[in-house]
Amino acid sequence: MPACARSDKDQLILAAQTGDPAAIGRLLAACQADARRYARRHCLASDVDDAVQESLMVIARKLGALKAAAAFSSWLFTVIRRECKKLERIMFRTETLDEDQAEHQLLCKTDNDLRIDLAAALESLPAHYLEVVLLRDFEELTIAEIAERLGAQDGAIKSRLHRARELVREYLIGPQNSPKPTKPQA
């Protein structure tokens, strides 16, 4: 970015931080394209518009707390990513689970129950996630080999694989698979 354009953006950010409504409006309009691009990378397609809107509202409300105008772009990126994660948690109704609790849930199951649950978890995956898991974990292909076979970029394959494994994990430790309390025998 040319130095004059950078300084213009910094001046716009400083003006917006003082509460100037016109400057806030111009700043939000100027950063909307970046916000949308960031959201497309980190959100589900159906959440992009919501994430952008929520993020821009957060930016408008908390702009005064930004310490350095040069940090604006990275702050925008962080806000977008946080909103995408929040929308994802809402959609999939996921909550963080303590690792010890997750391990305990899995240790309480028999090997046969784990096999059945794993098969069910894999069957529950959308086809594009299942394909990547099978190629990586069962055919033991590298990320590059999978990307070549599917005609995708390495980063996309890594993301898909990570999300697929997260979905399997959530399925395995989700409430439907928690150990059931046993009734005392009379």
Query: What's the CATH number where 29 sits?
Result: 1.10.1740.10
63 with 107: CB under 8 angstroms? Answer: no
pLDDT of residue 178 exceeding 70: no
End-of-domain residue from the set 92, 116, 145: 92
pTM: predicted TM-score of the whole model, two decimal places: 0.47
Please count the structural domains in the chain. Answer: 2
Sign of CA dihedral 105, 108, 111, 112: negative
168 with 102: CB under 8 angstroms? Answer: no
Q: 32 is in which domain, residue-wise? A: 3-92
The DSSP output letter for 151 is T
Q: What is the pLDDT of residues 79-138, one digit of tens each?
A: 888 888 888 777 766 555 556 666 666 677 777 887 888 888 888 888 888 999 999 988
The pLDDT mean for the chain works out to: 80
